[in-house]
Amino acid sequence: MIVPDRKPLDATAFSLMTLLCLLWGVQQIVIKLTAPYVSLVMQAGIRSVIATVLLVAWARVRGIALFNRDGTFWPGLAAGLLFAVEFLFIYAGLAHTNASRMVVFIYLTPPLTALGLSMFLPGERLSVRQWGGVLVSFGGIALAFSEGFNAARGWTWLGDLFGIVAAIFWAATTVVIRTTSLARATATKTLFYQLGMSAVLLAPVSRLMGETGVSAVNSSVIASLAYQGVIVAFASYLVWFRLLTRYLAARLSVLSFMTPLFGVLAGVLVLHEPLTPLFFGAALLVAAGIVLVNGRAAPAPDHAVAAVTKP
């Protein structure tokens, strides 16, 4: 199969990536705002159900096979389970830390992914520049995490730790996708495994945790769940996939550094979360690390697209 040449970023690509990063960064704030009406992990379950239904309908309209036998079943279940656990930690962690902090911790994923892939794929070995990016990101996370033990600011260390664990599971999901038969699957099918498993698992886990579930339904709740399920988990990922078919993927990935910065800004402006110089500096270090790790000019394989989106 001939893969069409991808072009450098233009104004359209930059504008769309800015919008996507804004959507992904603001999601944690939306989750926090909805928590009084729908418990946190239940939100994750409902989000995944909505996105899964829409993805199945999309695949049917586009003629994309989701249930054919192609040897991806067991790796797909593994990736889906990792995905579900990742979101379990993200949503549950928001009960113990600020949304602006959570979005920074989960974006430790790009350096962790680079480390994981370098262990399994010879072509993914890290350059000196990428090792520098890993160290810079880890330094930023260490600074941010240390601040979570400050009692005067609310002891956010448990939620911060959940964010780091979520980043580990996100990176593990990417490694599974890149190193198994999922590498030959379509992005839509790979995403289906992830959304489908989380749709099945997260709502029951919410009940087992003793969460209250849905305590009220109003216009803001409907808008929030539509934002999380329709706009973020479904529509934004499809736009991302489309961009990856037209532009150089590595250059698109570099722009993901905007996501934690948007998340921090939204947390401060909307939720009035505190922004200390130490944490702001830590967020900048994480963003700089993302740029260094993803700064290669070579395009990434198409089969990786479902793994480099979220949350």
Residue 79 in any domain: the answer is yes
Residue among 176, 28, 173 nearest 94 (CA) = 28
CA distance 37 to 215: 5
Domain count, the chain: 1
CA neighbor of 104 nearest in space, from 44, 163, 165, 21: 163
pLDDT score of 93: 97
Q: Are 177 and 304 in contact (CB under 8 A)?
A: yes
Please indicate, yes or no, whether the overall pTM of this predicted structure exceeds 0.85: yes
Q: Which domain holds residue 173?
A: 11-307
pLDDT at 290: 84
User: Would you state the pLDDT for residue 168?
Assistant: 95
4 assigned to some structural domain? no
**Does residue 122 lie within any of the structural domains?**
yes
Which ranges of the chain have pLDDT less than 50?
Answer: 1-3, 297-309
pLDDT, residue 304, reads: 41
pLDDT of residue 2: 43
Is position 3 within any domain? no
Residue 277 inside a domain? The answer is yes
Give Cα 235 to chain centroid, integer Å: 14
**Residue 2 falls within a domain, yes or no?**
no
* 1: in domain: no
| CA distance linking residue 64 with residue 61, whole number of Å | 8
Task: Indicate whether 47 belongs to any domain.
Answer: yes
Separation in Å, CA 232 to CA 20, 39, 200, 266, 299: 8, 19, 19, 16, 24
Alpha-carbon distance values, 294 to 54, 280, 284 (Å): 31, 21, 15
| pLDDT reported for residue 80 | 96
What are the tokens at 203?
């709502």
